[in-house]
């Protein structure tokens, strides 16, 4: 991506915010102590980890001692799902048909161990249909909080009530939601919740699992007693400091930035729909992440559409294997036909996104979607600077 590019792939990853980079830097070069050490450097590192634990807890309404630092969302999901399964007495798990692979894969592992995995269907807005929750006992329920492709926010609180009523432990994959919308573990009623740092302007390779008090887990790794014995190994102090700083930064402007991005997202949809009237809006108009817009062009291939656009970065709703395009399983579960699902494109905004970039993206994507010639390139500014930086 050049400085003239428009980055609309924030659901894939975000840039590290300047304030976050500034906060973590001293722990890369000066304050390099091992937080388990009793030296002054170790004590400084321990204090930094403890402060970050408070910052992350503050963003999601948890207690600091409920925050377990991990390497990211995938590890958090695995620890939650497999760690719960190790102590469960009922081998039934309830989930949805639109989960992220970081949930699908550990659930498949449980299936191989004899667990029965029940997938709830979704409606045409990619929301789980809770009317089909079984009443039989379950050991675990796992549901994504905000869908990574469509942005649809799921009814996790009601899901948690029903799973608890069936005797199960509840896990929410909140990797795509935390930092974009207000998230409270208390309001959701979940026992476990996954967070990924690189989705909220922290570096890749750091995340957290919220483990509510009284929830029993078995660690996946064996070693020393770090992170309450749930995640042994010397802590990634710079990454943890960065995650804490990113959490505090997100909380400081969550409402205002969400409203700004929602306005730009709606403008993008209006402009795209004007240029390409047959375009399908896949993301719901209500109950959606404020930064996410997934659209689909029937009869087109999303990857081919994006290939015609050199200076707009976005993602598709399909995968390509050996030259064959496969639509997203989540989109098919929503009821989209195969042809429409192949034409899906996900556009996800961020703090650096400007109105000029949205207008430019709408113009060039509109031409690509309709098969017209691309417009002349125009410098629009890029994603390098965080618009919220002071």
Fold for the domain defined by 6-15+254-370: 3.90.1150
pLDDT of residue 29: 96
Q: Is the pLDDT confidence value at 301 over 80? A: yes
Q: pLDDT grade, residue 388 (50/70/90)?
A: very low
Average pLDDT over residues 326-353: 93
Structure tokens at 378: 């125009």
Phi, psi (rounded to 5 degrees) for 209: -120, 125
- Tell me: pLDDT of 295 over 70: yes
Domain ranges of the chain: 6-15+254-370, 31-252
127, pLDDT greater than 80:
yes
**Six-digit token pair at 16?**
């590290």
What's the rounded mean pLDDT across residues 232-250? 98
Report the range of poorest mean pLDDT among 11-20, 51-60, 68-77, 360-369.
Answer: 360-369
pLDDT surpassing 50 at residue 386: no
Residue 188: both structure tokens together: 């959701």
What average pLDDT does the chain have? 92
Residue 80 CA to residue 78 CA, distance in Å, equals: 5
Predicted TM-score (pTM) of the model is 0.92
Closest Cα to residue 72, out of 219, 236, 223, 217?
236
pLDDT in tens, 130-187: 987 878 899 999 999 999 999 999 999 999 999 999 999 999 999 999 999 999 999 9
User: Which stretch of 73-87, 98-112, 145-159, 324-338 has the lowest confidence by average pLDDT?
Assistant: 324-338
**Structural tokens at position 302:** 């999303």
Long-range pairs for 248-254: beta carbons < 8 A, 24 or more residues apart = 248/55, 248/58, 248/59, 249/17, 249/19, 249/20, 249/201, 249/388, 250/59, 250/178, 250/179, 250/200, 250/201, 251/58, 251/59, 253/388, 254/179, 254/180, 254/181, 254/182
> Quick one: what percent of the chain has pLDDT higher than 70?
92
Inform me whether the pLDDT recorded for 372 exceeds 90.
Answer: no
| Options 224, 320, 387, 389, the catalytic residue | 320
pLDDT(103) > 90: yes
Q: What's the rounded mean pLDDT across residues 193-211?
A: 98
Better pLDDT: 136 or 383: 136
Is 320 annotated in the active site? yes
CATH code, 31-252: 3.40.640.10
> Looking at residue 376, what DSSP letter applies?
P
Say whether pLDDT at 318 is over 90: no
Residue 379 has pLDDT above 60, yes or no: no
Q: Which of 181-185, 276-280, 326-330 has the lowest mean pLDDT?
A: 326-330
- Tell me which of 326 and 175 has the higher pLDDT: 175
- Which pLDDT belongs to residue 3? 43
Is residue 368 predicted with pLDDT exceeding 70? yes
Instruction: Identify the pLDDT of residue 63.
Output: 98
pLDDT value at position 5?
A: 86
> Which of residues 48 and 325 earns the better pLDDT score?
48
Mean predicted confidence (pLDDT) in 325-330? 86
């Amino acid at each position: 991506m050049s400085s003239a590019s428009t980055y609309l792939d924030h659901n894939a990853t975000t840039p590290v915010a300047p304030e976050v980079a500034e906060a973590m830097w001293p722990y890369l070069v000066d304050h390099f102590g091992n937080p388990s050490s009793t030296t002054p450097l170790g004590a400084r590192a321990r204090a930094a980890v403890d402060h970050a634990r408070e910052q992350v807890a503050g963003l999601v309404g948890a207690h600091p001692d409920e925050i377990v630092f991990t390497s990211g969302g995938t590890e958090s999901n695995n620890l939650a799902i497999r760690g719960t399964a190790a102590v469960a007495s009922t081998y039934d798990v309830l989930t949805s048909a639109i989960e992220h692979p970081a949930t699908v894969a550990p659930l498949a592992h449980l299936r191989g161990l004899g667990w029965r995995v029940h997938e709830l269907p979704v409606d045409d807005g990619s929301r789980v249909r809770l009317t089909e929750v079984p009443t039989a006992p379950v050991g675990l329920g796992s549901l994504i909080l905000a869908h990574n492709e469509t942005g649809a926010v799921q009814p996790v609180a009601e899901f948690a009530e029903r799973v608890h009523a069936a005797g199960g432990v509840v896990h929410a994959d909140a990797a795509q939601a935390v930092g974009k919308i207000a998230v409270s573990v208390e309001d959701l009623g979940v026992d476990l919740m996954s967070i990924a740092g690189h989705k909220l302007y922290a570096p890749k390779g750091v995340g957290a699992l919220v483990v509510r008090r009284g929830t029993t887990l078995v660690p996946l790794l064996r070693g020393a007693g770090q992170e309450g014995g749930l995640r042994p190994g010397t802590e990634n102090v710079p990454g943890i400091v960065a995650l804490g700083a990113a959490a505090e930064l997100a909380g400081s402007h969550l409402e205002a930035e969400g409203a700004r991005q929602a306005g730009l997202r709606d403008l993008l949809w209006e402009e795209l729909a004007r240029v390409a009237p047959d375009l399908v809006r896949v993301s719901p108009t209500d109950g959606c992440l404020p930064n996410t817009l997934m659209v689909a062009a029937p009869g087109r291939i999303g990857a081919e559409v994006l290939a015609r656009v050199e200076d707009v970065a976005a993602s598709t709703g399909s995968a390509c294997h050996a030259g064959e395009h496969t639509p997203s399983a989540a989109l098919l579960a929503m009821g989209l036909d195969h042809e429409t699902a192949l034409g899906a494109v996900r556009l996800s905004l961020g703090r650096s996104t400007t109105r000029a970039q949205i207008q430019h993206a709408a113009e060039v994507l509109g031409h690509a979607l309709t098969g017209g010639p691309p417009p002349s390139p125009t410098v629009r500014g890029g994603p390098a600077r965080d618009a919220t930086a002071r």
